[in-house]
Chain A
Amino acid sequence: MSRVRVEPLGAEIELQPGETLADAAWRLGYEWPTTCWGQADCMLCRVEVIARPELVEPADDEERRAIAHNLPRAERRRAVRLACQLLVTGDGVVVRKEGVRPPSPR
């Protein structure tokens, strides 16, 4: 298990081995913006990695292509990653993502 903090909500999300940040959030019942649900296509789930970027696995070809083709130039910063593709190798990564909502009580 690796923990990722999501700002500004301040949520701590536990990722299972091999699980992406978005998959973990969806599994735990968070609302995490998307329209394509994990297809590396809609770009809506993108985050900015603001701490411990060395613990984030590099983007693969599919994600890099999506960032190059589906995002306006001004937004193609190095720290921008897709939560639906984002894997971490350890605790302590912090990302910034507006629009994440905690699981609603049932």
Chain B
Amino acid sequence: MTQLDERTATVPFAVTDPWWIDRERYYDRTFFELERDRLWNSVWQMACRLEEIPAVGDYVEYTICDQSVLVVRTGPEQIKGYYNACRHRATQLALGCGSFRGGQIVCPFHGWRWNIDGSPSFIYGAEGFAAAAVAERELHLVECRVDTWGGCVFVNFDRDARPLREALEPMPSLLDPLGVDRMRVYWWKAVRLKANWKMAQEAFLEGWHVMQTHPQLTLGRPADYRADSLEYHSYAHGNSGYWTKPGGRPVWDADREVESIIESSRLLYEGLDAMTLARDMHVIESLRTRPYEKGVFGAQLVQAIFEYAAGAGIPLPMPEDPAALVRWGGVFYLFPNFFILPQYGNALVYRSRPDGDDPEACYFELWSVTIPPASEPEVKPEFGGVYRPDDTSAWPQIPLQDFSNIERQQRGLHSHGFRRLRLAQDYEGGISNMHQELDRYLSR
């Protein structure tokens, strides 16, 4: 844990002891507005997936708090971000997603328009303006910073921000060997939660809640599930990650190793439909037919996954350092609001954002992504919709269990019997690390 920064003490409800978090940080309006002005206006944030804008002219509108930007593919290898406001009288130029046809961005109000490179191409009624007001250099669309990593487009409204790669490290170094940039959307859904955006994501910044929140994952033996079975790592710039400790799976019955692993995989597959998918289930179940050798089943499983991928034409990369595979099943958090949970050739991805102007509402998205066979044509991902957190037809068991706690936490914050959150030094350092980085932004 890093030394607390003295400058951050000026932030309201600042973190002054890393293991205590004031409850106001999750609902106070002044704090929320400070986040809007100082965090979201100067941090790299995931705006869309590259596969959403495959063709030149394709765009996605990205919104955060009161800002809207258009992320546009302006060339086969070029993407730009434009603030979404007509240079005339502020009309938002496009909404949602789509394609700027004929390479033209057209204002629906008076028909002013731009080439997709941001240069003005037609200014209707220009003769009615003072010449200086419609000078060409005055009318370019205003750009924000854009960069890409891991199959995603990131934007930043701060011209002076550190480069994306620097902000994300060491996550790219940890995740690139697992092929996250080759993954494409299998499903994508969102939930509106009555909770602060941080409260929602903090449910995924530690894994020791599994014992009580997801008892099924302990295979009926929650009492044997050890809180210290995972190792947690906090990094610079608010990033963090955690994964299984070597030998940290005490739940699995050594005598029934094969059946335990198959059962655990099935629970993940059926309870999430992410990380472990049907094709992986097929591979894992086929291992029953192989001669069992105590202690090497894990290695056999990894080998079988790679053999299957090779046979199916799935470009699952073999990491140069096979130790990277320990990160399968881990959770990787990219400050401020983005998560990647890789497993085999798949991953579960989360993004949490404030929902409009309410500090106690967030818009939380989940993507199940997977490396498709190389022969499969590229298609735009389809958004599966926004669902209530208790919609049993939309959400598998595991997210339902997580969502139910998040809204109860947010309500609990207001209790006369509660003042601040207490964090476990050994298990919840990622939450503290995130809040400390947040304070660095808020004190700038």
Q: Bound complex: CA of A26 vs CA of B106, how far in Å?
A: 15
> Would you call B102 and A36 a contact (CB within 8 A)?
no
Q: In the docked arrangement, what's the CA distance between A84 and B113, Å? A: 17
Least CB distance, A24 to chain B, in whole angstroms: 10
State A6–B102 Cα separation when bound (angstroms).
18
- Known A-B contacts A35-B106, A37-B106, A39-B106; the reply to A22 vs B101 at CB < 8 A is yes
Measured CA separation A34–B101 after assembly (Å): 11
B103 at the interface (CB under 8 A from A): yes
Check if A38 sits within 8 Å of B102, measured CB to CB.
Answer: yes
Given A35-B106, A36-B106, A37-B106, residue A26 in contact with residue B101 (CB < 8 A):
yes
Taking CB atoms, residues of chain A closer than 8 Å to B104 are 37
Complex Cα spacing A34 to B106, Å: 11
B108 at the interface (CB under 8 A from A): yes
Q: How far is the CB of B108 from chain A (nearest CB, A)?
A: 7
Interface size class of B (residues with CB under 8 A): 10 to 19
A38 to B104 alpha-carbon distance, docked (Å): 9
Asked if A63 lies at the interface with its beta carbon under 8 angstroms from chain B, I say no
Per the bound structure, the CA–CA distance linking A26 and B116 in Å amounts to 14
Query: What's the dominant secondary structure at chain B's contact region?
Result: mixed
Instruction: Answer yes or no: B100 CB below 8 A from chain A CBs.
Output: yes
A22-B102 in contact given A35-B111, A37-B113 (Cβ < 8 Å): yes
How many Å from the CB of A82 to the closest CB on chain B? Answer: 12
**A72 CA to B291 CA, complexed, in Å:** 78
Contact across chains for B102 and A37 when beta carbons are under 8 A apart: yes
Q: Which residues of B contact A84 (CB under 8 A)?
A: 101
Given A35-B111, A37-B113, is A23 in contact with B102 using a C-beta cutoff of 8 Å?
yes
B residues 95-129 touching A (CB-CB < 8 Å): 99-104, 106, 108, 111, 113
Count of inter-chain pairs, beta carbons less than 8 A: 26
Give bound CA distance, A84 to B100, whole Å: 12
Closest residue of chain B to A36 (Cβ to Cβ) is B106
Q: Which residue of A lies closest to B105 (CB)?
A: A37
A77 to B102, CA, bound (A): 27
Asked whether, in the complex, the Cβ of B108 is within 8 Å of the Cβ of A26, the reply is: no
- Docked Cα-Cα span, A35 to B111, in Å, equals 6
**Could you say which residues of chain B place their CB within 8 Å of the CB of A35?**
106, 111
Q: How far is the CB of B253 from chain A (nearest CB, A)?
A: 54
- Distance (whole angstroms) from the CB of B106 to the closest CB of chain A: 5
Whole-angstrom CA separation of A37 from B107 in the bound complex: 10
Q: How far, in whole Å, are A22 and B104 apart by their CA atoms in the complex? A: 13
Asked if A38 and B101 sit within 8 Å, CB to CB, the answer is yes
Contacts of A36 in B (CB 8 A): 106, 108, 111
A36 to B113, CA, bound (A): 9
- How many angstroms between the C-alpha atoms of A36 and B110 in the bound complex? 10
CB-defined contacts of B108 to chain A, threshold 8 Å: 36, 39, 41
In the complex, what distance in Å separates the CA atom of A63 from the CA atom of B101?
16
Contacts of A38 in B (CB 8 A): 99, 101-102
Q: How far is it, in angstroms, between the C-alpha of A29 and the C-alpha of B401 when the chains are bound?
A: 55
CB-contacts of B79-104 with A (<8 A): 99-104
Question: Chain B contacts of A26 at CB under 8 A?
Answer: 101-103
Contact with B along A18-49 (1 / 0, CB 8 A): 00001100100000001111110100000000
Contacts of B100 in A (CB 8 A): 37
Cβ of A36 to closest chain B Cβ, rounded Å: 6
Distance in angstroms from B133 CB to nearest chain A CB is 22
Q: Is the CB of B111 within 8 A of A23?
A: no
A22 contact set on B, CB distance < 8 A: 101-102
B228 to chain A, nearest CB (A): 55
Known: A36-B111, A38-B101, A84-B101. 5 other contacts (CB 8 A): A22-B102, A35-B106, A37-B113, A39-B106, A41-B108
Can you name 17 A-B pairs with beta carbons within 8 Å? A22-B101, A23-B101, A23-B102, A26-B102, A26-B103, A34-B102, A35-B106, A36-B106, A36-B108, A36-B111, A37-B101, A37-B104, A38-B101, A38-B102, A39-B108, A41-B108, A84-B101
For the complex of A and B, the 6 pairs showing the least CB-CB separation, nearest first, are: A38-B101, A26-B102, A37-B104, A37-B106, A35-B111, A37-B102
